Amino acid sequence: MSVRILALVGSLRAGSHNRQLAEAAIKHAPEGVEVVLYEGLADVPFYNEDIDVEGGVPAAAARLRDAAGLSDGFLLFSPEYNGTMPAVLKNAIDWLSRPYGAGALTAKPVAVVGTAFGQFGGVWAQDEARKAAGLAGGAVLADVKLSIPGSVTRFAELHPADDAEVVTSLTEVLRQVAQGTAAAAA
């Protein structure tokens, strides 16, 4: 049985180091694990209950929910913007939290990782993303962490997919998310 993990990247930049980290996860996913990078978070409107009604959900939000519904687990990649997670990632979590108690995140394993320029690798943002995903119903794997500091210098000439230490750590994160899907199904 294959495990499908949906990767949501909190940076919209094409050359984002967090996007590159997601690309590394796709490239180095363990056997039996498929990582799918969600494209289109920039198109999802800010969450608004007035437009989250049957027959009125914006197409971009419906596509996000559909992709999440087809996934067994989630891997969120969060840079740190002014000490917290980017709005685009928080917005995705908000859309996936509804309908309340039955959103696409509900009871599915969620891990949060990332890289940032600072010396702590974005831990504040990642902690906030864990908190939001948990409140949204996700089964947050609180002990599954990967925060890579100094992204601008570390990945200046080396893609994360070619960094042996990153690959080893990221593969372990994916293994733990896959194990979480088995536990959620039991």
Dihedral sign (CA 150, 154, 155, 156): positive
**What pTM was computed for the model?**
0.96
Tell me what pLDDT residue 120 has. 85
**Cis ω before 99 (30° cut-off from 0):** yes
Residue 12 half-sphere exposure, CB side, CA atoms within 13 Å? Answer: 11
Phi-psi category of residue 114: left, alpha or beta, with phi > 0 → left and psi -120 to 50 → alpha:
left
Q: How many CA atoms lie within 13 A of 18 on its CB side?
A: 30
> CATH class for domain 3-185?
alpha beta
Q: E strands of the chain, at which residues?
A: 3-9, 33-37, 73-77, 109-115, 139-148
pLDDT at 3: 97
Q: Which pLDDT score, from 0 to 100, does residue 185 have?
A: 72
Separation of alpha carbons 160 and 168, rounded Å: 11
Give me the tens of pLDDT residue by residue for the chain, a chain 186 residues long: 699 999 999 999 989 999 999 999 999 999 999 999 999 999 999 999 999 999 999 999 999 999 999 999 999 999 999 999 999 999 999 999 999 889 999 999 999 999 999 888 899 999 999 999 999 999 999 999 999 999 999 999 999 999 999 999 999 999 999 999 977 776
Closest CA to 148 of 42, 8, 24, 14: 24
Cβ neighbours of residue 107 under 8 Å, at least 6 residues apart? Answer: 137, 138, 139, 184
Q: What pLDDT, on a 0 to 100 scale, did the predictor assign at position 182?
A: 79
The per-residue pLDDT for 186 is 67
Helix (H/G/I), strand (E/B), else coil: 128:
helix
Provide the sign of the torsion angle of the four alpha carbons 28, 29, 32, 34, taken in this order: negative
